[in-house]
Amino acid sequence: MGRLKLQTGINAIEEEPEECDVTYTNKTALACMINSEIGAVLAVMRRNVRWGGRYMSGDDQLEHSLIQSLKSLRKQIYTWQHPWHTINPAVYLQPFLDVIRSDETGAPITGVALSSVYKILTLDMIDQNTVNAGDSVHLIVDAVSCCRFELTDPASEEMVLMKILQVLLACMKNKASIMLSNQHVCTIVNTCFRIVHQAATKGELLQRIARHTVYELVRCTFSHLSEISTTEHALVNGNSSSKQEAGRGSNDDYVLGSRLLENGNLGHEFDGQLSSNNFDSNSSSAPLATGMDENLLEDSNVKDTVPFDLHLMNEPYGVPCMVEIFRFLCSLLNLVEHMELGGRSNTMAFDEDVPLFALGLLNSAIELGGPSFRHHPRLLSLIQDELFQNLMQFGLSTSSLILSMVCSIVLNLYHHLRTELKLQIEAFFSCVILRLVQTRYGASYQQQEVAMEALVDFCRQKTFMVEMYANLDCDITCSNVFEDLANLLSKSAFPVNCPLSSMHILALDGLIAVIQGMAERIGNGTGIENTPVNLEEYTPFWMVKCENYNDPNQWIPFVRRKKYIKRRLMIGADHFNRDPKKGLEFLQGTHLLPDKLDPKSVACFFRFTAGLDKNLVGDFLGNHDEFCVQVLHEFAGTFDFQDMNLDTALRLFLETFRLPGESQKIQRVLEAFSERYYEQSPQILVNKDAALLLSYSLILLNTDQHNVQVKKKMTEEDFIRNSRHINGGNDLPRDFLSELYHSICKNEIRTIPEQGNGFPEMTPSRWIDLMNKSKKSSPFIVSDSKAYLDRDMFAIMSGSTIAAISVVFDHAEHEEVYQTCIDGFLAVAKISACHHLEDVLDDLVVSLCKFTTLMNPSSVEEPVLAFGDDTKARMATTTVFNIANMYGDFIRSGWRNILDCILRLHKLGLLSARVASHAADESELSSDTGHGKPLTSSLSAAHIPSVGTPKRSSGLMGRFSQLLSLDNEEPRSQPTEQQLAAHQRTLQTIQKCNIDSIFTESKFLQAESLLQLAQALIWAAGRPQKGNSSPEDEDTAVFCLELLIAITLNNRDRIVLLWPGVYDHISNIVQSTVMPCALVEKAVFGLLRICQRLLPYKENLADELLRSLQLVLKLDARVADAYCEQITQEVSRLVKANASHIRSPSGWRTITSLLSITARHPEASEAGFDALLFIVSDGAHLLPANYTLCIDASRQFSESRVGQAERSLRALDLMAGSVDCLARWAREGKEAAREEEVIKMSQDIGDMWLRLVQGLRKVCLDQREEVRNQALLSLQKCLTGVDEIHLPHGLWLQCFDLVIFTMLDDLLEIAQGHSQKDYRNMEGTLILAMKLLSKVFLLLLQDLSQLTTFCKLWLGVLNRMEKYAKAKVKGKRSEKLQELVPELLKNTVLVMKTKGVLVQRSALGGDSLWELTWLHVNNISPSLQSEVFPDQDSNRLLGQGEKGGPTSSEANSVSSAEKVAADSAGTGG
């Protein structure tokens, strides 16, 4: 049997000795001390007449033996030569013990003797190394427990009793106490407890000392439990073979429950003597002690137990005495119940005093024994059954003191032994805590408060709720304790139609303790992936097991699976209650029941599923259908009736369903029950028929006794008589039937069980069932500090938790409560974010935003002052923005509420004027974070002035200055100190919020949250409306737009995500605005800014970004005109910074379109041309993709009459210079590309060149002379400087038709049809044009002359020369042209002659080129032919024609030439 290990110097819970704390090592000193104690006893004895007289009476009479023994000891003590520890203590103790035992001594003498023994014990004269120490301490215990003395007066009696307590406690604290036997420890406790009861009629001091002594004894005893070896047969000294054999002989078969007050030596003498006639006959202590003892003896035999083996009780003390003491303490609780039931009167206040005392002792034992209890099955069994059953009953006590102590004990038990008390803990919360806290069960406010305090204490245990969830909520056979407790805390925190009370705050503390526990576990990780549970095939749900309950990788998926099954069963129960058939089909569909129903699975569904309608279950089980009968028998088979009384078993069985009313159904149900009961408990009954008949009898008796309609009740004799011969023809034992009768009479069997999910009362039958279940229950899962199941738990309690905290926060008036609520809110936010519960976080944000008062319409005159004075609003505001900054990743719809708060602060002028600009500039100017950040870089930059929108005072300081300012018309008083303080508090609050960081740090937001934030900004801005928005609405829209642009710029890497919404919003603004305003200004320049910033990083989006700038082209004319210059400056910046990143034609088309528009705008044209110059100049950024577009833009600038003509000339220079780019591209293409690519590139270059010269052609018609002439020169350069381009002949023909001839014709028409005021000095222009024609023609003559269409081209040239030669400028022919044209013609003909192009190749009529040439030339210069071809008789043919006319062939030739000439004249016109 386990006992104390022998140690030197056991550190018991010691008191300071009263006499002296010096250990005497000197023999003489110790002898002197004993001598002084002998003298003290003798001195007191001499004061007594009897002792003194006898001593002096004469020599013939001997001295009394007590005096003689003392004197004898006095003689011996100085003669001992051996070391003190080798002297048997019994020698010097015995004379004092004889005095203590003597019934002749009075109380003073006995008291002094007790003091002497106490002194010897406290001076450590006896220790474990002393000879015969064990027997000596046994002698002391025996003597003191059998103390006898004459009762002289109450004070003396109390003094002796206190000395007894003192000595017995000193025995337990002495170093030799480990040699005390189990028997003697029990004797000590029993003796002290007798004095406790006897002290009830004595003074208050004795009562307190007695109780304290018992308390210390229990502590001394159980403090050694952790030191006791779990080896059953370990002995203290290990040298007693007889004791070893005795120990082995007892083996492990002894049963707890032996009575503490038996075995002869355990106090019968004390009882006899303490109650003897030596006491005053009027003393009430004797009957009290005796009566108390009898009750203890009676109660200790409640259970069938046998005492410990005598050898075990005589071994050095250990577990056996602890078992006895613990059982004795439990029996005190039973005793109280019996006394209350029996109505026995007693002077002690049993209603509260005794249970409190017993509970305090039990609590102390549990505190000191701690987890060591689990190593000793008998102690553990006492806790599991007897103690806990008593705790359940006393938990419902009306005394708040008792309830508080019960809760403390359960908390200690949870802390040390929860793995062994799974179902007991569930029962305590279901049947005690949850019942008490809910008002519907009739508990007083004090009871509710104590229960709530206890619950909160449990909630403060970090793993309590996790373990409740894992072990109970996820077990199909247990109730949802976690869920019930969480709901209870939430409901209890709600002040319903009443002010906030301490109970509400207490519940809130518990709720927040649970939440904060989850929040603290977040950093510890989970390590287990939360995979969804899916039942793919049927597995018996009641047989699901876990292989290793200590391995989180196994038990976590297991409990999640069990919880999933439990939830599905609850849903199935709901379906079953509406329609049993559909309910079973639903469970088959979820694979909780097999596709083909079997009786076992349906029976287990009925047995283990909570919430079933018990009427429907009873009808199903009582049905005569064969399947239902099979289910009934399987259902009965799920019960464990082992060692259970028949009435208890019947109660348990009938609690699970309602017994049907039809007799046949009742018979079927009772047959199944009786069969199962007889199978498991056949002790008295001979067969199942006997069980059936007796069950019927009990049902009839129950109806008879508890039905109000039955007037004449069945007596015990009637019941016994009716139950004759039912046990196989024999009678059942009368005692057995009598017990059943009284049990039914006292406690009704409820055939209509409680419906619903209430919290039932713990009945004896339910407790027996609980103990049976606990033997088969799955192991208790111990959770560590990781957040394994927190997500599942939080999802259950989050909604009610947020609501509860919000309600308390709303009703609270003290800052401490505010802070508690805020801590709860932050913990909820942290958990929601960690476990990605976005909906919960949104709900939290919505709830918190309401408390900021920022979303409420302002009903106060000075909302800023009101906000500064409202602590709750300021704390809520700070918390909202802290959550937004810390957990913004997981906010979704909550962004709308947050933005409402921001906008309200903005409207009140409480936000810094640079919030949005700081946000926008963050990525660009991250190094410059000071207050002096230049505003020129912000969205409200100096170079983007707002048009038509007056600047208003913004920012808190602006509001503050308004407050300080004095209105000229209506003077205002200076602000008070309170107002100044309110403003200061408001300022501090806004600074704490760090609102701008929401947007500057948006680049770290998760994509979904970022998108929701952007959408919330768009929503908050509102849809723009044409011309009827208020200034306040516009200000809001502007602010939202600034923030939207800010987050867009800060998230360039995720622009694809944001861009559609941003673009649509800006587009709506642009297209709905008809007048200049701040909103459209921010929209346009924000759009440009986005493009400026993002083009370098998002080349794949360049086209889309640039395409968005087409919105600028859609601006209303008035709006565009107002912002044209600034827009152009921004476009110019964009081009200069990002020209290399713009590669597509569509992108360049947008840019050049914007630039082209500026050509005719006075203020914008300079900036626009500057950007164009940057692109085209030296071909720096000219590309095939933008060449044509840039040429068109340049042409528009050259044609523009805005500004000086010099810019037009520069534009022409740009156009002319661009031909070099074409040449360069042609060279590069030939070097790098393949043949087919060269052909394609040549064709593209040709097209671009043609667009270039066409553009120049148009400028050649400009009214301004210098521009017109410069255009002609530029055109000439482009036509003549293209040797490297190698344009195809067909393109040149196209060029002559579309460009040169058209230009010549248009110029001539202008010269002849417009006044000189519009076009000055057209003559000079015509001359330049004619020179251009001649030069280009001659340059290309060699190549073009080979073409079949050359004749047509040549006639076109001649036609224009002829027209120009005859042209009239200012109403008369131009002399200069008349001189120039023949000269140019002569030069041309000479070149043609030289190159062999113009020669007479055949006889008359065979060469149309020759003939047509001279036909036109002669119209211009008749003498030219003879000058050029002097040898030709050119007049011959003409002469013949004059004389006789042409022949038929000649006529045909002339007519065809004329036709060609006419066609040529019309070409290109």
The residues that are catalytic are 662
Instruction: Return all residues near 714 (Cβ < 8 A) that are at least 6 apart.
Output: 701, 704, 705, 722
Number of residues assigned to the chain: 1469
Number of neighbouring beta carbons within 10 Å of residue 294? 12
Instruction: Return all residues near 205 (Cβ < 8 A) that are at least 6 apart.
Output: 158, 162
CA 1073 to chain centre: 44
Bridge partners, 106 (sequence order): 150
- The helix/strand/coil state of 730 is strand
In whole angstroms, how far apart are CA 1416 and each of 1306, 1409, 1457? Answer: 21, 11, 10
Q: Rounded to 5 degrees, what are φ and ψ at 138?
A: -65, -40
Which of 1239, 1242, 1183, 1173 lies closest to 1212, judged by CA? 1173
Bridge partners, 150 (sequence order): 106
Q: How far apart are alpha carbons 1343 and 1340 in whole angstroms?
A: 6
- The helix/strand/coil state of 318 is strand
In whole angstroms, how far apart are CA 564 and each of 554, 800, 1302? Answer: 16, 21, 87
User: CA 497, 503, 504, 509: dihedral to nearest 10 degrees?
Assistant: 180
In whole angstroms, how far apart are CA 1332 and each of 631, 1098, 1274, 1299? Answer: 114, 48, 10, 12
Q: Is 258 left (phi over 0), alpha (psi -120 to 50) or beta?
A: beta
- The helix/strand/coil state of 1346 is coil
Q: What token pair was written down for 1113?
A: 């082209």
Q: What token pair was written down for 737?
A: 């039937």
Q: Is 895 left (phi over 0), alpha (psi -120 to 50) or beta?
A: alpha
Bridge partners, 318 (sequence order): 3
| Segments in 223-352 forming alpha helices (H) | 241-250, 268-274, 285-299, 310-314, 319-342
Q: How far apart are alpha carbons 157 and 1026 in whole angstroms?
A: 105
- Is there a contact between 1468 and 1356 (Cβ–Cβ < 8 Å)? yes
Q: Is 58 left (phi over 0), alpha (psi -120 to 50) or beta?
A: left
Q: Rounded to 5 degrees, what are φ and ψ at 315?
A: -75, 160
Which of 347, 437, 457, 446 lies closest to 398, judged by CA? 446
Q: Which sign does the torsion angle of CA 1188, 1090, 932, 966 carry?
A: positive
| Segments in 976-1054 forming alpha helices (H) | 977-993, 995-1000, 1007-1021, 1031-1050
Which of 484, 460, 455, 493 lies closest to 801, judged by CA? 493
Q: How far apart are alpha carbons 1175 and 836 in whole angstroms?
A: 51
- Is there a contact between 479 and 472 (Cβ–Cβ < 8 Å)? yes
For 371-380, b/e burial (b = at least 16 CB within 10 A) is ebbbbbebbb
- The helix/strand/coil state of 106 is strand
User: CA 854, 858, 862, 863: dihedral to nearest 10 degrees?
Assistant: -10
Instruction: Return all residues near 241 (Cβ < 8 A) that are at least 6 apart.
Output: none
H/E stretch holding 654: helix 646-655
